[in-house]
């Protein structure tokens, strides 16, 4: 698409937004029908995806706008129930695009498979035997999944650690083999698990030990994505706050999160507010991304901020985010869920690496959105105004009454279900 900058998008009706996107070739007529379908995920498809299915659980799907990443325009599908996330992401993306956009990069897509070996008579000797058989083991692993090798991926390397060697407990002593696997455009859990399971008998034979666990690690620290933005202070000006005040507030807020886990958890939750909705919309495994991201935030020994914010020599605000991003554009439920296929088409990404870069940029935007609000008006002003619509619905408002009640709640500065019920009663008398 030519631009992700669509002024007044939020003022249109849902139908108007869809028609506009179709005219912009963001999606096709068929995809439009897929989005309009009452059941975005047909029950019979859901029944094949998990067990004991009784229905489906829909979430709102919104679009993050204004994203300019490495010079390319993106409209970002976001599946989320929390108000103000999509608006905040789009607001910050607009600020960043006015500063030249996000720059991002991603490492090779190398994922880790783990094999746990216990009960070796001599762990050092067992380790050496495995090191000596590295080429053989890599070949065996690749033979277990030849199609990923044909795609240019596969097992590329391995290393071996001994844990708790000095322990008196044989339960604690173990050898752990890490298999490094390039999973190309797949998240790769099944590819990895197949490979590590296939290696187990060879490893038992070579070490004389017993293999227990054979599974991927969600601590995907060799599958990283990075985003950066550089923003001149003048475009950060907000209400009565100067751009410099906002910039300095953001850096102070970052230093708080960098030093205090109580703050860092909430700071990082705000980042995941941007990341999870895209991971969900594209059919990826958000538990895997969450687990890896939080572990990475502790990599220096204390749970800390995922982002960093600083001021450069020209006085610009500089934000950076780096996280493991084990997402795919194929595999798992991605090619099964009709909406994830549409979401990926809308994003127009060519590879899992590119998808990871879009996701990380949105995470950085979301963090700045939250920090900017926190260091200026506070989070409640924007949040509660949007939340008021959900409160109105929870109180029983329908149709036009939703907006009427919601506005009255904001006017009264009382965004509570009790107050909303009173208003619903008053208007439906
Ligand atoms: P799949 O098992 O669906 O494997 C992806 C397949 O896609 C590949 O085997 C490959 O098959 C095909 N493919 C087509 N094009 C490409 C390409 N360009 N690059 C790579 N593969 C391609 O999915 P994953 O292995 O990714 O597994 C992800 C699923 O595993 C998720 O649903 C996740 O929830 C789940 N899971 C997660 C765990 C965890 O996180 N701890 C544990 C277990 C499962 P072919 O080459 O034969 O065409």
Mean of the pLDDT values across residues 70-77? 97
Contact 84, 374 (CB under 8 A): no
- Give the pLDDT confidence of 148-191 residue by residue, as tens digits: 999 999 999 999 999 999 999 999 999 999 999 999 999 999 99
Among 245, 387, 260, which residue's Cα sits nearest to residue 311? 245
Q: Please tell me the predicted confidence (pLDDT) of residue 33.
A: 87
CA of residue 218 to ligand 1 center, whole Å? 14
Contact 155, 143 (CB under 8 A): no
Measured CA to CA, the distance from residue 56 to residue 37 in angstroms comes to: 13
- Neighbour tally for 54: CB within 10 Å: 7
Protein residue with its CA nearest to atom 18 in ligand 1: 185
Whether the pLDDT of residue 418 is over 80: the answer is yes
Backbone phi, psi, residue 228, to 5°? -140, 145
Contact 325, 360 (CB under 8 A): yes
- Neighbour tally for 61: CB within 10 Å: 19
Rg of the chain on CA atoms, in Å: 25
Q: Which residues line ligand 1 (CB under 6 A)?
A: 147-148, 151, 184-191, 216, 218, 285, 288, 328, 330-333
252 is catalytic: no
Among 227, 283, 316, which residue's Cα sits nearest to residue 49? 283
The percent of residues above 90 in pLDDT, for the chain, comes to 88
Whether the pLDDT of residue 89 is over 80: the answer is yes
Q: Please tell me the predicted confidence (pLDDT) of residue 238.
A: 94
267 is catalytic: no
Tokens at 402, concatenated: 């939703």
Whether the pLDDT of residue 2 is over 90: the answer is no
380 pLDDT band, cuts 50/70/90, is confident
CA atoms within 13 A of residue 172's CA, in its CB half-sphere: 6
Provide the whole-model pTM. Answer: 0.93
- Give the pLDDT confidence of 15-61 residue by residue, as tens digits: 999 999 999 988 888 888 888 877 889 999 999 999 999 999 999 99
C-alpha angle with apex 145: 162 to 207, nearest 5 degrees?
Answer: 30
Q: Please tell me the predicted confidence (pLDDT) of residue 37.
A: 78
Q: Which of 86-95, 244-253, 331-340, 407-416 has the lowest mean pLDDT?
A: 407-416
Residue 98 Cα distances to 66, 71, 72, 265, 305, angstroms: 10, 12, 14, 30, 26
Mean of the pLDDT values across residues 243-265? 98
In the chain, domain spans: 36-105+224-377, 110-217, 382-427
Mean of the pLDDT values across residues 242-264? 98
Whether the pLDDT of residue 382 is over 80: the answer is no
Measured CA to CA, the distance from residue 429 to residue 425 in angstroms comes to: 6
Secondary structure letter of residue 334 according to DSSP: T
Secondary structure letter of residue 78 according to DSSP: E
Instruction: Indicate the fold that domain 36-105+224-377 takes in CATH.
Output: 3.90.770
Instruction: Indicate the fold that domain 110-217 takes in CATH.
Output: Alpha-Beta Plaits (3.30.70)
Secondary structure letter of residue 336 according to DSSP: T
Whether the pLDDT of residue 379 is over 80: the answer is no
Type and span of the H or E element at 159 = strand 154-163
Q: Please tell me the predicted confidence (pLDDT) of residue 383.
A: 73
Protein residue with its CA nearest to atom 37 in ligand 1: 189
Beta bridge partners of 103: 228
- How does DSSP assign 230-294, residue by residue? EE-GGGG-BTTB-HHHHHHHHHHHHHHHHH-HHHHHHHHHHHHHHHHHHHHHTT--HHHHHHHHH
Most confident of 232-236, 399-403, 422-426: 232-236
269 is catalytic: yes
Measured CA to CA, the distance from residue 388 to residue 380 in angstroms comes to: 11
Measured CA to CA, the distance from residue 331 to residue 220 in angstroms comes to: 17
Protein residue with its CA nearest to atom 24 in ligand 1: 188
413 pLDDT band, cuts 50/70/90, is confident
Secondary structure letter of residue 315 according to DSSP: S
């Amino acid at each position: 698409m030519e631009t992700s900058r669509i002024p007044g998008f939020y003022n249109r009706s849902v139908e108007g937004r869809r028609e506009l996107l179709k005219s912009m070739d963001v999606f096709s007529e068929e995809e439009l029908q897929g989005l309009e379908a009452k059941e975005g995920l047909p029950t019979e498809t859901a029944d094949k995806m998990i067990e004991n299915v009784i229905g489906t659980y829909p979430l709102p799907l919104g679009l993050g706008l204004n994203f300019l990443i490495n010079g390319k325009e993106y409209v970002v599908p976001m599946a989320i129930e929390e108000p103000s996330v999509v608006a905040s992401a789009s607001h910050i993306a607009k600020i960043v695009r006015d500063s030249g956009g996000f720059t991002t990069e991603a490492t090779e897509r190398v994922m880790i498979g783990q094999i746990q070996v216990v009960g070796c008579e001599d762990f050092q000797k067992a380790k050496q035997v495995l090191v000596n058989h590295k080429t053989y083991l890599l070949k065996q692993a690749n033979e277990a999944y030849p199609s990923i090798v044909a795609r240019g991926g596969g097992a590329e390397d391995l290393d071996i650690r001994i844990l708790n060697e000095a322990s008196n407990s044989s339960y604690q002593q173990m050898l752990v083999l890490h298999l490094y696997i390039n999973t190309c455009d797949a998240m790769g859990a099944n590819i990895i698990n197949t490979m590590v399971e296939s290696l187990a008998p060879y490893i038992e034979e070579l070490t004389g030990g017993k293999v227990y666990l054979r599974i991927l690690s969600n601590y995907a620290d060799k599958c990283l994505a990075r985003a950066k933005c550089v923003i001149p202070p003048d475009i950060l000006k907000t209400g009565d706050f100067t751009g410099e005040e906002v910039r300095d507030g953001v850096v102070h807020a970052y230093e708080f999160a960098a030093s205090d886990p109580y703050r860092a958890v909430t700071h990082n939750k705000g980042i995941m507010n941007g990341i999870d909705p895209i991971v969900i919309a594209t059919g990826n495994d958000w538990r895997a991304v969450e687990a890896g991201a939080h572990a990475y935030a502790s990599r220096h020994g204390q749970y800390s901020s995922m982002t960093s914010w600083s001021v450069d020599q020209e006085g610009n605000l500089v934000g950076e985010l780096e996280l493991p991003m084990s997402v795919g554009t194929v595999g798992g439920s991605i090619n099964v869920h009709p909406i994830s296929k549409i979401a990926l088409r809308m994003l127009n990404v060519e590879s899992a690496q590119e998808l990871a870069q879009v996701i990380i940029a949105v995470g950085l935007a979301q963090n700045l959105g939250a920090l900017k609000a926190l260091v200026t008006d506070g989070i409640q002003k924007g949040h509660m105004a949007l939340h008021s619509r959900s409160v109105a619905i929870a109180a029983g408002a329908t149709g036009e009454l939703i907006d009427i009640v919601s506005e009255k709640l904001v006017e009264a500065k009382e965004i509570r279900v009790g107050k909303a019920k009173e208003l619903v009663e008053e208007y439906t008398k």
